[in-house]
Chains A and B, each alone.
Chain A
Amino acid sequence: MTAPLLNVEHLTMRFGGLVAIDSVSFEARAGEITAIIGPNGAGKTTVFNCLTGFYKPTEGRLTVDRGGENYLLERMMGHDIGQKAKVARTFQNIRLFDKMTVLENLMVAQHNKLMQASGWSIKGLLGLDSFKQAEKEAVDLARYWLERIDLVDQADDDADSLPYGDQRRLEIARAMCTEPTLLCLDEPAAGLNPAESAALNELLLYIRDKHNIGILLIEHDMSVVMKISDHVIVLDYGRKIADGEPEAVRNDPNVIRAYLGEDEDSELPPEIQADLEGGDD
């Protein structure tokens, strides 16, 4: 088995007296989709914020192994995590560049590469061929992802003119344009209808298989989680309470208790059971 892409060891995050995450450890591998689930307020988004440098963890170590090179995320500046460790993320509430076009959104994602090619703007100002070539390649990469998310025709429209589902997928495409090794998705299926949700599953599986990167997924929609994840981690009150294959996690008594409260009776009401099984309703 290969070394894990992401290794989280004893991650702890305290806000004053509140312990949002309490010594959580887990791993995520390249070519796998790792889902993080848990009730509201379990600390899932806080884990993401620690991983992507928006919070400095109180304790713990976050290591990204990129081709033998290790990056310690907790010691890096926010933007370095995207630039050097190649961790990209999307947001629970979509954060696109609204008044810029779809294509421009994808071009901004390739900023660091293009900046270097433009000789920190000097070559770009002079309009040298080497920069034009780099820009063309960037457009080609953007077009590749636009084809994946089926938005080629809308490439020159403003991002905020897109329907909600397209905006969600555009945000994923934008993250992919940074050519990440680890993609963190914060509730990508929130607010999607069943058809859009199915298209999202397909996109995520495509990314996993064709680009062989690690995907970390926060999701409430069990139909997405149970269908596509290779590995599920369950958080509750900032602690990890289960970790394993989707099938094993689904039947874990701790998980059932976390979702349903401290009930001795382990029989689930039928609608919850259906939900956990990834009901095809």
Chain B
Amino acid sequence: MQNSSENKLAFALKSAVAAGLVAMVLAVPIIGLPAVDIGGGTLGLEPRWMHVGLAAIIVFVGRFLLVSTADKRAAMSGDEPLFERMVKPVAQYSKPIGLLVVIAAIALPFMPFANRYVVDVATLTLIYIMLGWGLNIVVGLAGLLDLGYVAFYAVGAYSYALLAIHFDFSFWICLPMAGAFAAFFGVILGFPVLRLRGDYLAIVTLGFGEMIRIVLINWYDVTKGPDGLSSIPRPTFFGLPFKRRPPEGIESFHQYFGLDYSSMHRLIFLYFLILLLALVTYWFSNRMRSLPVGRAWEALREDEIACRSLGINATNTKLTAFAVGAMFGGFAGSFFATRQGFISPESFVFIESAVILAIVVLGGMGSQFGVVIASIFLILLPEIFRELEEYRMLAFGAGMVLIMVWRPQGLSIGRAPSIRLHGDPGKGGAS
């Protein structure tokens, strides 16, 4: 026994030295050589070897503790990994917890701490939650890796903006039209790429996303190119505008309800709007999952050849997945347009697609709940830690690495069957 514990110590020491060396090498350019102004406006390097050494020592000690206590930690946590134990109660009471979250989300704008910033960040997070749920249909359920989802977001935003500016339609008319346009583009993209799978599909969708962006930049007559579309009409509360001084003959929101004017009214309205849209997306995709078409999506993800042998039309099934996913992207896009009041191709670059995909993958493919957690992680936390400035992205990267080490399959709790023969075990069914 003595021998084996010595071996373990040696192993821990070895791996700690290796990690420390790697950290040192990485730290030299990242921490050790900051560029500073050395007078006369020229930049020079000011080496900080102390910091490099410190970083290497921290990594060394951390790694040593991690490896040398691995056995003890494993013995302590028992058979079940920590995460499973943590999420089990969550999975068991998913319904009441979900309800609580929704109630909290509704109450949020009326909380004393809810200032302009809080509502804004919450709105932003909800946009990504909605996009995540939309993309989840394509990637998580149907298993079609889509790297150009932002294209549908852009189509929705531009259709909304153009319709609202040129035809003066109200938000509630533009919204379904924008969704329909985006779904139409989903089908257009879907047709040529149906025979592709996996990596090949990802490349084509990536190209499609870029195509849309480049068309938006260059089609100056319609999209105003890189200048973007401005003065997009703001949404109204069923015809009541949110303005301090509405035009003659029109009552504004605060006048109608006898309130004092506050710019928060519009923000809170927008917040509830996106909350509603996100909940509709959630309800719709959850519902679709337990319908034949949703089951066919999942079956297609599992085995396309078996689907064909069962008489399932894979072409149509994939197209519906593309169209439905794109439609929700379009809805989110039109909300984005009306919230910002200004859109330009800058908002629809590839990194947006990547972030949305990261939300779906980190959340655990196909998991609705995981999307919420991942959105909070990827959108909300970086916003909150804005004070950390340049270390913010470092923390973002570290967080991603942590999740992938900790839960390579994503944060999801596991797939719930869309139909059961023996009733729900959580409710004490027949089984």
Contact = CB atoms under 8 A, between A and B. Distances in A.
Contacts of B308: 53-54, 78-79, 82
A89 B309 contact: yes
A122 to B, nearest CB: 10
A143 B295 contact: no
Nearest to A89: B309
A54 B305 contact: yes
B309 A82 contact: yes
B260 to A, nearest CB: 42
Contact of B419 (A104, A112, A120, A146): A104
B310 interface: yes
Interface string B291-330: 1110110110011011111111110000000000000000
Contacts of A152: 421
A152 B298 CA distance: 22
B299 A100 contact: yes
Contacts of B299: 97, 100, 108, 111
B414 to A, nearest CB: 10
Contacts of A121: 288, 291-293
Contact of A124 (B292, B298, B305, B415): B292
Contacts of A84: 311
Contacts, number: 122
B361 to A, nearest CB: 16
A142 B419 CA distance: 12
Interface string A40-52: 0000000000001
A272 B394 CA distance: 70
Contacts of A115: 292-293, 296
Chain B CB within 10 Å — which of A52, A124, A135 has the most? A124
Interface string A15-54: 0000000000000000000000000000000000000111
Contacts of A100: 295, 298-299, 302, 417
A210 interface: no
Interface in A128-183: 135, 139, 142-143, 146, 152-153, 155-156, 174-175, 178
A226 interface: no
A107 interface: yes
A73 to B, nearest CB: 13
Contacts of A142: 421
B419 A81 contact: no
B422 interface: yes
Contact of A114 (B287, B292, B309, B313): B292
B311 A83 contact: yes
B421 A108 contact: no
Contacts of B309: 52, 78, 82, 88-89, 91, 95, 175
A104 B296 contact: no
Contacts of B293: 115, 118, 120-121
A100 B417 CA distance: 7
A99 B140 CA distance: 13
A15 to B, nearest CB: 18
Contact of B312 (A112, A120, A135): A112
A139 B419 CA distance: 9
A109 interface: yes
Interface string A251-262: 000000000000
B420 interface: yes
Nearest to B313: A79
B17 to A, nearest CB: 42
B418 interface: yes
Nearest to B417: A101
A8 interface: no
Contact of A97 (B291, B303, B313, B419): B303
Given A83-B313, A112-B312, 8 more contacts: A53-B308, A88-B311, A91-B309, A95-B306, A100-B417, A103-B417, A120-B293, A124-B287
Interface of A: 52-54, 78-84, 88-89, 91, 95-101, 103-104, 107-112, 114-115, 118, 120-121, 124-125, 135, 139, 142-143, 146, 152-153, 155-156, 174-175, 178
Interface of B: 284, 287-288, 291-293, 295-296, 298-299, 302-303, 305-314, 415, 417-422, 431
19 contacts: A52-B309, A79-B307, A79-B313, A79-B314, A82-B311, A83-B313, A95-B309, A96-B306, A97-B299, A103-B417, A103-B421, A111-B296, A111-B311, A118-B292, A121-B293, A135-B419, A146-B421, A152-B421, A178-B311
